[in-house]
Chains A and B, each alone.
Chain A
Amino acid sequence: MSRDPVIWVSSIVTIIAFSYLFKENELYKAVEHLYVGVAAGYTLVMGYNNIVSKVWTPLTRDKNFLVLIPAILGLMLYVPYVSKQYSWVKRIPIAAIVGIGMALTARTQIMQQFVGQIKAAVGPVKNINSLIILLGTVGTLCYFLFTLRPSLPVKTGSEIGKWTIMVTLGAAFGAGIMGRISLLIDRMFLIFRDWIPLIKIR
């Protein structure tokens, strides 16, 4: 058995978390609460590190007073916890966050996710994959045509689109299962290799 207390704690907590599969129990609930508490504490520490490295050091060492602008905007988020009367102040930093986020995304979205994808989809059909993507794209677009009278080409396209969507969902679900199994394998390595040396693979 491992002599590392960290491995012991994480293995026992993992087993308790898995116990939910058998039946909900008090230990599971305790671990659930523990997780929320630890995650909150961890977030606090990371937040502190962020403030030290991104605000305090540039301010005190480099005399970079510009960092005060985002720092003050960040502090404004906490105003509702101090005064109910001035709780509207938090809307200013939220507006800034949303505005900047939207602008940064929209700036490149049109080129990379719209024009780039259309170019790739309608580009020269080089192989069977390109053909499937082209048919799938056109078919899916036909499936979502609501304002045209359903003619034979639209109906055929729509049928192709329906199958494309179903295959896509199936692929996504299959990949999802594969991902979850990998996470379970990771936990198996923790319990049966790092804690109890049953698995010999390193």
Chain B
Amino acid sequence: MDFFEKLGKIDTRIIYVLFILAILIPLVSPLGLPVTVSQHTKQTYEVVNSLQPGDTVIIDIGISYSGAGDVLPQAIAVFKHLMSKDVKVIFTGVQMDSSKIIEDLIKPYEEAGKEYGVDFCNLGYLAGGENAIAAYARDLKKAYPLDFRRNSTDTLPILETVNSAKDVNMFIFFSVQNADMYVRQITEYQVPLVGGLIATIAPQAEPYLHAGQLKGMLVGLRGAAEYESMMGSPGIGLASMDAQSIAHLLIVFFIVIANISYLGTQNKTRSRKEASQ
């Protein structure tokens, strides 16, 4: 086996170990690599920042714990921004883990003195995916007779003047699935629609942003980091960016290695064929 063949047959376990080290070392001792803010995030920040104190938004948490690492930091950053602006937040959810994730999100603010039912509420998980979004966008109280804490939604002060998507100032969703169902069901209410997506599906949502159907979009953990940077409030997103960058460099390195190996072995095979002819 020559050099190029050996290069193409590196034990995958070595790659895994290098990968873990490439992520762990920058987390343990951060490098402080610069983070530039993309146009998407700037646009999202400006749209959210245009909300006024007392405005109400719906945040749909379409996050499962399996995908939380990529999207939850976005939700934490945006919710922090909304709380700092005294915007009221109605939480809904279409993933089974939504209710618990929402409770974790609101807990620190409740402890800090914000009032449940007035500043925010957790309506919890509603089964049905797109059907659920369509149902609560049309009639919140009918779709949610009770909130996650078993309070009647008729008694929540935050819902006194809100009963559908058209009654809120903005609809924000965080999703590990797709943006399609939100665009399909919410756009008709003429309410600004903003999305935070797992990086894997973000390219598919790009046309909605171009068409103006989405007023803003955050992409994965990087989107969270950029948003934190815009807010001037570093969080888990910014802290992860060094590790993400080094891991990407490692992947690029292995792609180059694989291609060198491929080209090297191809040349050898070709010269062998020519010799045999």
Contact = CB atoms under 8 A, between A and B. Distances in A.
Interface of A: 21-22, 42-43, 46, 49-50, 53-54, 57-58, 61-62, 64, 100-101, 104-105, 108-109, 111-113, 116-117, 119-121, 129-130, 133, 168, 171-172, 175-189, 192-193, 198-201
A140 to B, nearest CB: 12
B107 interface: no
Interface of B: 12-13, 16, 19-20, 23-24, 27-28, 30, 66-70, 96, 99, 124-125, 127, 130-131, 134, 144-146, 150, 152, 180-181, 183-185, 187-188, 198-204, 207, 210-213, 219-222, 236, 239-240, 243-244, 247-248, 251
A162 to B, nearest CB: 18
B220 A178 contact: yes
Contacts of A61: 152
A189 B146 contact: no
A56 B30 CA distance: 53
A128 to B, nearest CB: 12
Contacts of B221: 178, 182, 185
Contact of A199 (B27, B69, B212): B27
A195 to B, nearest CB: 13
Query: Among A53, A57, A179, A188, which residue has the most Cβ atoms of chain B within 10 A?
Result: A179
A188 B130 contact: no
27 contacts: A21-B12, A42-B96, A49-B99, A50-B125, A53-B150, A62-B145, A101-B130, A111-B187, A112-B184, A113-B184, A116-B211, A120-B212, A168-B203, A175-B202, A176-B199, A177-B251, A178-B244, A179-B220, A181-B247, A182-B69, A183-B66, A184-B23, A185-B27, A187-B69, A189-B236, A193-B27, A199-B28
A192 B145 contact: no
Give chain A's interface secondary structure class. helix
A53 B145 contact: yes
A7 to B, nearest CB: 14
A186 to B, nearest CB: 3
A188 B19 CA distance: 12
Given A53-B146, A113-B180, 19 more contacts: A49-B124, A50-B125, A53-B144, A54-B145, A57-B150, A104-B130, A105-B181, A105-B184, A111-B188, A176-B200, A178-B244, A181-B23, A182-B220, A182-B240, A184-B69, A184-B247, A187-B69, A192-B27, A199-B27
Contacts of B96: 42-43, 46
Nearest to A67: B145
Nearest to A181: B247
Nearest to A184: B23
A112 B185 CA distance: 9
A185 B222 contact: no
Contacts of A182: 69-70, 199, 220-221, 240, 244
B39 to A, nearest CB: 10
Nearest to B30: A201
B28 A192 contact: yes
A104 B134 contact: yes
Contact of A109 (B19, B184, B199, B222): B184
A120 B23 contact: no
Nearest to A185: B240
B27 to A, nearest CB: 5
Nearest to A176: B200
Given A21-B13, A104-B185, A175-B199, A57 B27 contact: no
A187 B96 CA distance: 21
Contact of B183 (A113, A180, A188, A198): A113
Contact of B248 (A42, A178, A184): A178
B29 to A, nearest CB: 9
B4 to A, nearest CB: 25
Nearest to B184: A108
B27 A108 contact: no
Nearest to A109: B184
Nearest to B15: A21
A120 B200 contact: no
Contacts of A192: 24, 27-28
A201 B27 contact: yes
Contact of A188 (B12, B23, B152, B187): B23
A57 B199 contact: no
A183 B211 CA distance: 30
Nearest to B144: A53
A76 to B, nearest CB: 16
